Amino acid sequence: QKEVEQNSGPLSVPEGAIASLNCTYSDRGSQSFFWYRQYSGKSPELIMSIYSNGDKEDGRFTAQLNKASQYVSLLIRDSQPSDSATYLCAVSTFGSNYKLTFGKGTLLTVNP
Amino acid sequence: EAQVTQNPRYLITVTGKKLTVTCSQNMNHEYMSWYRQDPGLGLRQIYYSMNVEVTDKGDVPEGYKVSRKEKRNFPLILESPSPNQTSLYFCASSSPGGSTDTQYFGPGTRLTVL
């Protein structure tokens, strides 16, 4: 059974701080890794994807992947109240977004 | 506008009464998928389809059926709904390997089975 684990939170950070979200996965054959954001009552939306070890930056977001440790993280710099949402980690053994296995999500609250 | 649509958005029904939740996408995506989201359990995949007439089970397929007769449509069928199928359902589509690797999610269907 493939598992994706996330800290359930809630994670609370002050506005302007760095929010760090973590995810571990059990299947060593995993190839594709995604972070989705889901606002309350809304559908998930993709914010980052990463396929190789190292860091990938996109604006205030940085995804980090360490396949040896089976660990993927998301850093949000200069956190804003609008970043308050549930963040979902998703993993696939395919080289793309087929058959995603999702973690249960981490609720992030950014306090003004 | 590129989008995934689901209907109905909200549905209250009774045990055993067959229902269908429709999903349609206008992006010519090959891949479509159904998920259910439950508190404490997260998003779990029910069925997915790689293309027309090609479907396969996800992690929680029991009690559900799907069909993919047209590329744009991927309905979810509950032949005999039970209360444990009360959940929030999302349809998603994507075209892996294309210019974007994102799955586009529909707005969700909140189903209550009494």
Q: What is the mean pLDDT of each run of 10 residues along chain B (114 residues)?
A: 94 97 95 94 92 92 97 97 97 74 90 97
The 10 Å Cβ neighbour count of residue B110 is 15
Instruction: Please report, rounded to a whole number, the percentage of residues in chain A having pLDDT higher than 70.
Output: 96
Cβ atoms of A44 and B43 within 8 Å: the answer is yes
d(CA B7, CA B76): 10
Contacting residues for B102 by C-beta, under 8 A, at least 6 apart: A46, A49, A97, B94
Q: How far is A9 from chain B (nearest CA, A)?
A: 12
Note the pLDDT of residue B100. Answer: 55
How many interface pairs between A and B have CB atoms less than 8 angstroms apart? Answer: 52
B88, with CB counted inside 10 A (0-12, 13-18, 19+), is middle
Token pair for A61: 């977001």
Cβ atoms of A104 and A90 within 8 Å: the answer is no
> Cβ separation of A46 and B44 shorter than 8 Å?
no
For the segment A10-30, the average pLDDT, to the nearest whole number, is: 95
3-state secondary structure of B109: strand
Note the pLDDT of residue A99. Answer: 80
Note the pLDDT of residue B91. Answer: 97
Rounded to the nearest integer, the mean pLDDT of chain A is 93
Note the pLDDT of residue A95. Answer: 66
Q: What type of residue is B35?
A: Y
Best of A27, A97, A107 to substitute, by most chain B Cβ atoms within 10 angstroms, is: A97
d(CA A4, CA A17): 26
Measure CA A92 to chain center. Answer: 13
Q: Are strands A11-14 and A106-111 parallel, antiparallel or unpaired?
A: parallel
Quickly tell me which residue has 């109240």 as its tokens: A81
* CA-based nearest residue to B53, from B74, B39, B37, B35: B74
A52 pLDDT more than 70: yes
Report the Cα–Cα distance between both ends of chain A, in Å, rounded. Answer: 40
Note the pLDDT of residue B2. Answer: 82
pLDDT-derived band at A33 (thresholds 50, 70, 90) equals very high
Cβ atoms of A25 and A91 within 8 Å: the answer is yes
> Cβ separation of A43 and B90 shorter than 8 Å?
yes
> Cβ separation of A43 and B107 shorter than 8 Å?
yes
